[in-house]
Every structure is written in structure tokens, then in C-alpha cells.
Amino acid sequence: MHLSGQLSDWSINDLLQIMQVTKKTGSLDIEGQRRGRVHFREGRVTGAELNGVDGAHTGSDRAGVADILYVLSTVAEGSFSVGAADGPDAKGWTVEEVLVDVDALQTLEGEIAETGLFEANGVKLINEIADPMTVEPADWQTFVNLVPTFSFGALEAKYGRGTAVRTFHTLNRLGLAETVAIPEEEAEWLDRLAEGVASNSAWNGAGGETDEQPVAEPELEIVEDVTEPATVEETEVTEPEPVSVATSKPSRAHVELKGVSAHASTTLTDGVYDEIRRLRSRVGDK
């Protein structure tokens, strides 16, 4: 049977039904704004192809075939023809089975169209979700492509080590992560990201590493039956001369500041020295 004509007279659904009713083995070619081909074996759909400027897309499973027919169903102007079968020699699916999937996609498009996502210049993922959700395996590949390759160091630099550890633990527990060889140019980008975030003062103040060496805390000791005024011992620094602090009324029990002990290589910044003086003043007021 030779069949050809204009899509203005026959819809894609009509043509699919004709192929099934006649139990035709062949390939249905669609020529219009979109170009594609649907393959049949004894009236059952076995595969489909969609041709575009970026090459041909082949649907070999039911979902893939439905996706292509979903696109071809929007073609209302053009021509069609049925030629010899050159598609998969498989059992395939009934036209009704495939059209159920196409109708489901059309329903989803109608719901999404109301959100304005189709017309938006840019779309991003939301920062928080209210409830756990399930991602279909067929959709996972798309989500993976939305997230660039990352490293533990980059994640730690941006969100902190605790968050990075928890994230990597979850990814490993769910089997969602694998190691990859990062191209040199991408690795350089990740290094710049980590260095840029790590140098941020807000992160340093929240527990990140700094260039200054830690300074030992002053040691406070309770002293019993002290009749001599308390004095302050100080390590050798380049700041102003040590200050002696005496209590106005010696008491049987008071607090004595034993001094600040720090390694010779320790650098005391102005802020640290001011804090030491503040502690001394507080002791002297007792």
C-alpha cells in the first residue's frame, strides 16, 4: 500500500491509527516544520526518529518514541509518506500505548505553561524544599547535567567543612557520587573558587584558617592567703612596657593573673594586645 498526502488533511494520530488498522510494516515519514520518521512492524510501533539542525535523535524505547511523537504531533503543515520499513525489527507497542504517553506529556506541558517557566529568560533551582521527593531514573541524567563537577575542597571552602562532610556522606550512602578525572582548565577554575571563598573574611571569622598564629589564653588561678599585691608578668613583645597592677585592698582570696605564655614565634597583633590589657584592667578592679 502506498500512502502519501498533506498533513493539513490528516493528523499524526490519524496516520498512526491507519498504520495499525492495516497492520502495515513500513516507515512513516513526516516533512514539515519538524522532520521525523516512525517505524512499524505489522501495525505496531517499533521506533522513531527526529531530525533537527543538531542531528538525528532516535527513540528505541517506549518513552523515547513517545517523546518524538509528542514533538511531531505539533506539526500541522507539511507532507507525509509511507515507504519500506527500515526501522527496528522488534515487537514494539500498540498505537494506543504510545498515545497514552503522548497525552500525558501534553497534559504536563499545559500545567507547566501556566507557571511562566517556558517564557522566562532564566530558571534556577530553589534553595529549599519542604518535603522529601523522588526523582525518576529517566530524569536523573538531566539533573546531573545541571550541576558542574565539584570537589570536597570547593564545597568546604564555600559552605564549611561540616556541611561538606555531611553532603559527601549522603552522596556516598545513596550511591550518587563517583570520582572523575577533572580537565586541567576545570581544575584551575575549582582552585580559584576555593581560594576566593576561603579568603573571605566572613568565613575566616566563622572558623576558617587565617595567617595569624593562635595565642595562648591567659591563665587564671585562685590564690589563698595572699598579702602581697598581685603583679602581672608579661612575655617579651615589641609593644609598650609591661604594666603592674595592684589591688587596692588585699583580701584573703583574690584572682591573680599569672601572665600570658606564648611561643617565641607567636605574633601578637594589636587586637590581641589590647585584649590582654583589658583583662589586666579587669583584674585590677577587683
Residues 6+ apart with CB under 8 A from 162: none
| CA dist 219 → 33, 185, 232, 256 (Å) | 82, 51, 11, 9
What single-letter DSSP state applies at residue 178? -
Q: What percent of the chain has pLDDT over 70?
A: 62
Residues 199-214 as b/e (b if ≥16 CB within 10 A, e otherwise) read eeeebeeeebeeeeee
Determine if the pTM surpasses 0.95: no
Integer Cα distance of 138 and 147 in angstroms:
17
Selection from 243, 230, 229, 231 nearest residue 273 by Cα: 243
**What's the pLDDT at 125?**
82
The band of 79, judged by pLDDT with boundaries at 50, 70 and 90, is very high
DSSP β-bridge partners for residue 133:
none
What does each C-alpha distance from 14 to 19, 43, 161, 210, 263 come to in angstroms? 9, 13, 60, 71, 88
Burial-class residue 193 by CB neighbours within 10 Å (0-12, 13-18, 19+). Answer: middle
Dihedral in degrees, nearest 10, Cα atoms 232, 233, 239, 241? 70
Q: Which of 67, 62, 68, 15 has the alpha carbon at shortest distance from 43?
A: 15
pLDDT of 254 higher than 50: no
In whole angstroms, what is the distance from residue 163 CA to residue 261 CA? 35
Flag whether pLDDT at 256 surpasses 90.
no
Confidence label for 27 from pLDDT (cuts 50, 70 and 90): very high
Q: What is the pLDDT of residues 98-142, one digit of tens each?
A: 999 999 988 888 888 888 887 888 888 888 888 888 888 878 888
Mean pLDDT of the chain: 74
Domain ranges of the chain: 3-110, 137-205, 220-284
User: Exposed/middle/buried for 227, CB within 10 Å: 0-12, 13-18, 19+?
Assistant: exposed
Quote the pLDDT of residue 192.
62
